[in-house]
Amino acid sequence: MKKLCLTCKSELNKDEIALNKKLINRNMKDFYCIKCLSKHLEIPEELLRQKIIEYKNQGCGLFS
pLDDT value, residue 1: 76
- Phi then psi for residue 11, to 5 deg, are -70, 135
37 within 8 A of 48, measured Cβ to Cβ: yes
Q: Residue type for 7, please?
A: T
pLDDT value, residue 64: 83
pLDDT digits (tens, 9 = 90+) for 2-18: 999 999 999 999 999 99
Q: What is the pTM of this model?
A: 0.92
Enumerate the domain spans of the chain: 14-63
